[in-house]
Structure 1
Amino acid sequence: MERTCEQVWEKCLNIIRDIVEWQPYKTWFEPIKPVKLETNVLTIQVPSQFFYEYLEEHYIGLLGKTIKRELGKEARLEYRIVVENGNTTQRPVTVNMPMHFSKPAPGNELDFPLVINTNPVNPFVIPGLKRVQIDPQLNPNYTFDSYIEGDCNRVARRAGKTVAEKPGSTSFNPLVIYGGVGLGKTHLGQAIGNAVKEQHPHKAVLYVSAEKFINQFIDSGKRSEINDFIHFYQLIDVLIIDDIQFFARAEKTQEAFFAIFNHLHQSGKQLVLTSDKPPKDLEGLQERLLSRFRWGLSADLQIPDFETRMEILDTKMKADGLEMPREVVKYVAYNIQSNIRELEGALISLLAQSSLNKKDIDLDLARKVLKSFVKTSSKEITISSIQKMVCDYFSVPYDKVLQKTRKREIVQARQITMFLAKQFTKNSLKTIGEHFGGRDHTTVIHSCQTVKDLMDTDNAFKESVSELQQKVQLAAM
């Protein structure tokens, strides 16, 4: 009995439904209508030119496999595209377009097959283990609870939580997390993996560094098992690859990863990638890979501010059951500004020195230990440095404090700067006054008294001045 185009297309859809997630399927396959079947050529109608181009870009491999499975090796797919003609009284015209499966568009070629082997060699455990037994290679200590949120990482952390809740079903696919050394890329990537395992225990999650991925690919090539290597990674539901910048020196590995990326993305699986640079600045990677990295969200990690560093130290100490004088914690947080790894390293060094030398942790010990972490253990406090702190704190332009103005916020910032300069520098009242546009010593005395009076009557003002005093003290250590 001869089959109709509707029957053939329904058979194809039955295969596609098992591979593509519900939302992409509903968006990109439900609107398609089969219109004609001639020998081994199936014609389908799509609603627009964009729709056609998207299918060709994202689902060409899947469509090619399914149509050949139903109609044979010589099968072809053709599109009928609905084109608006600008006349509302007439039906839209249609344009026929061939499928480019036999000759993919530039940048969409597959150097490796997309055929899936359901029992490939597992490079992480002994051969023969089933899919559900894949070791995710995750550190259980890397969680969202232990990853402190601040202005430096808020977008990346929240995007990571969204991905963990709905892996493969958000627009954050791939999620590219980038930032300098020691800012928490690995922690965040693994936190996503751990959260997925907790919320979706049936999903196969895998974390792997780019270097290990490259080495596995090289080893599989030596054993003539490259297809097995690719097939194994195509079974993963959430793939997390750390430090993708190292792919730059591995051209063949990039080709394998391209095939893996395409299959996972087309199948609605989640990819999480970390890098030391944003995708646009990565050098030595194929443009077709970089363009795919830009499909999702790129979120950066920056150096944490003082408050975030304090919270990181508090969380680390609480997790390890440690206690430390508050002034020491502030000293460490203020002086270690480069990255989180050094911050935690300084804390560990401080605790080790205290234990080995049987000394209590105090500022003197902290100064000695942190000599290897900071360039200098003491800094000269100047009127200008205090002025900068005050201006940054109140978001007041630096030069405005030197000008003659009666604006309350400017006058108050100037008075607090004079008060702190008198308290923390050895400058005379005359010198302090001259620094602020040639004002005399009586102005400085008046400003200092005004600050003291306000601290006695305004709690919010007192808290602001106290916080600034602590910042100056820390800067002087």
Structure 2
Amino acid sequence: MTNSAESIWNNCLKIIKDIVDWQPYKTWFEPIKAVEIKGNVLMIQVPSQFFFEYLEEHYVNLLAKTLKRELGKDARLEYRIMVDSGNNGRNGSMDVPAGNMKMYNNNEMDFPLIINSPVKNPFVIPGLKKMQIDPQLNHAYVFDAFIEGDCNRVARRAGKTVAEKPGANSFNPLVIYGGVGLGKTHLAQAIGNDVKRLHPNKVVLYVSSEKFINQFQDHSRNNAINDFIHFYQLIDVLIIDDVQFFARAEKSQDAFFAIFNHLHQSGKQLILTSDKPPKDLDGLQERLLSRFRWGLSADLQIPDYETRIEILERKMKNDGLDMPKEVVKYVAYNINTNVRELEGALISLLAQSSLNKREIDLELAKKVLRNFVKTSSKEITIDAIQKMVCEYFDVPYDKLLQKTRKREIVQARQITMYLAKAFTKNSLKTIGEHFGGRDHTTVIHSCQTVKDLMDTDSLFRENVMELTQKVQLAAM
């Protein structure tokens, strides 16, 4: 009987494969196994109850038509559902008995449909309705408070697109990755808050991967994994923070894989954050990683100097604070690791000012930020000046050393030589050697050119003065 069932089901699959796209076919039909045939009733085995329900919701007409072609107009389909038995590590199966099903009439054929008990909410909100699901969002995390710069422009703009059209865009899933303190959680929750503002009827949920894993383990101990999966299937926009922690939770990955497939196939939006790009995530199932790559992976980088200043100024404005411009520049230049440390340095500075009842000035800033800045007085190097100038003019370092007549490169090199002569103790010969082996006469000519242009070109002079201030701050 098994061979006959397999033969019939394989014939059905040949038809289905020509109708359904490759990815849905691989996801929803390849895992199905034919069990037995009894008269005009074919029994198939599916991996889980949610899998059965998805077939009933999305492919019932297709299944009806293909099976009717094989077994005639009275053909019927029944399911054997694999059941997770909890902590004992074994799986069983459950045939759908006639006494526990109602008949679903689709004018093609009757299909068995399990009557489910009410879905339990892992976030324990009594009397669950979709709109009663707490999104778990921090209302302070909004786009207006997330400063845009070269370091995050792609991720922020993709996030705005997702918020405007959740699930109906090319960025599904949207994977936001980057180091500690760069704003991954802020941006992910800003998307969620914007969705709630623009689409009040959408169900949004933010949850850390650790909470997801803990919830799954609790439901597993209570033999309620289906309730857990069913709850997450209610979500329209699911935000999972720090997915790298799934690496130590194999069974949680299985549950998330099922949830991911259901939501993605249903046109719902997924937003994920991680400390690494998907290709570098170790310990995650390849089938999950392949799905992470379906949408867009956007990185958050360390903010540049100008962006750091803007972050500080926005923070000060929101908190009603005021600091001298030179102090803001000092903090922005010396705290160049991440946004979290930048804000921490500002808080420390303000706290010391309040406790000591003194105004904030550069001297206080240098004193307070010793825990953040490695040294308050350091010798500036030619390499450091080259890096500053390259960053300021957005010029690749290697271009600075090459022989080229491009005006922007030549001027950047001349300014760098001028600053190196002014702020280092190196000889003209040594300075020239740091620029591709140029001689001391080139350095002299460059310094004179900079002085002449500062007298005749106001914009050029402004650029040099700003860079001079950067070097001075760095040397403090």
**One fold, TM greater than 0.5?**
yes
Alignment of 1:147-166 (within 5 A): 147-166=146-165
In structure 2, C-alpha distance between the alignment counterparts of 1:45 and 1:302, rounded to whole Å = 49
Match of 2:56 in 1: 65
> Partners of 2:24 and 2:383 in 1: how far apart?
61
Match of residue 136 from structure 2: 137
Q: Is the 8 A contact 1:44 1:79 kept in 2?
A: no
Post-superposition Cα deviations, 1:336-393, rounded to whole Å, max 9, x if no partner, equal 1111111111111111111111121111211122211222222212345334433554
Going from structure 1 to structure 2, the CA distance change for 1:312 and 1:112 (only over 3 Å counts) comes to farther
- Secondary structure of the corresponding residue to residue 124 of structure 2: coil
Residue 470 of structure 1 pairs with residue 469 of structure 2? yes
Q: After TM superposition, give the deviation of residue 415 of structure 1 in Å.
A: 3.9
Matched residue, 2:109: none
Distance 1:272 1:408, change over 3 A: closer
> Does the CA contact (< 8 Å) of 1:332 and 1:346 recur in 2?
yes
Gaps of 5+ in 2: 1-7, 30-50, 70-76, 83-90, 95-112
Report Cα offsets for 1:146-189 as digits up to 9, x if no partner: 11111111111111111110111112111111111111110011
User: 1: CA distance between counterparts of 2:160 and 2:402?
Assistant: 48
Distance 1:410 1:79, change over 3 A: farther
Deviation per CA, 1:441-466: give whole Å up to 9, x if none: 9x73x654543332232122112212
Structure 1 position 222, deviation (Å)? 2.5
CA contact (8 A) 1:168 1:269 kept: yes
Structure 1 unaligned segments of length 5 or more: list them. 1-37, 81-98, 105-109
1:394-416 deviation digits (Å, cap 9, x = unpaired): 46676777788877556544543
Q: Over residues 282-304 of structure 1, what are the superposed CA-to-partner deviations in whole Å (9 max), with x where a residue is unaligned?
A: 12122221121111111111111
Offset at residue 467 of structure 1 (A): 2.0
Residue 183 of structure 1: SS of its match in structure 2? coil
Q: Secondary structure at the match of 2:238?
A: strand
Instruction: State whether residues 119 and 130 of structure 1, in contact with CA within 8 Å, keep that contact through their aligned partners in structure 2.
Output: no
Whole-angstrom CA distance in 1 between matches of 2:217 and 2:263: 21
2:126 partner SS = coil
Determine whether 1:53 maps to 2:22.
Answer: yes
Superposed, 1:423-438 pairs within 5 Å as 423-426=422-425, 437-438=438-439
**What value does the CA root-mean-square deviation take over the aligned residues?**
3.7
Q: In structure 2, what is the equivalent of residue 22 of structure 1? A: none
Count of residue pairs the alignment pairs up: 409
One-letter amino acid of the counterpart of residue 248, structure 1: A
1:330 aligned partner, one-letter code: K
What is the CA–CA distance in structure 1 between the aligned matches of 2:284 and 2:92, rounded to whole Å?
16
Residue 187 in 1 paired to residue 178 in 2? no
* Corresponding residue number in structure 2 for 1:196: 195
Structural mapping, 1:24-423, within 5 Å:
49=18, 51-58=20-27, 60=29, 61=51, 64-66=55-57, 77=66, 119-391=118-390, 393-394=392-393, 412-423=411-422
Superposed CA offset, 1:66-94 (max 9, x none): 589679xx9684699xxxxxxxxxxxxxx
Percentage identity across aligned positions?
Answer: 72
Evaluate the alpha carbon distance shift between residue 49 and residue 452 of structure 1 in structure 2; reply closer, same or farther with a 3 A threshold: same
Counterpart-to-counterpart distance in 2, 1:207 and 1:227: 20
Superposed CA deviations along residues 282-340 of structure 1, whole A, max 9, x for unmatched, are 12122221121111111111111111111111111111111111111111111111111
One-letter amino acid of the structure 1 residue matched with residue 163 of structure 2: A
Q: For residues 391 and 207 of structure 1, do their structure 2 counterparts lie closer, same or farther at Cα, with a shift above 3 Å needed?
A: closer
Residue 139 of structure 1 aligns to a residue in which SS? coil
Question: What amino acid sits opposite 1:205 in the alignment?
Answer: V
Q: TM-score w.r.t. structure 2 length?
A: 0.75
Residues 67, 384 of structure 1: CA spacing in aligned structure 2 closer, same or farther, 3 A cutoff? closer
8 Å Cα contact 1:204/1:238 also seen in 2: yes
Residues 158 and 118 of structure 1: CA distance in aligned 2, closer, same or farther (over 3 Å) = farther
State whether residues 15 and 66 of structure 2, in contact with CA within 8 Å, keep that contact through their aligned partners in structure 1: no
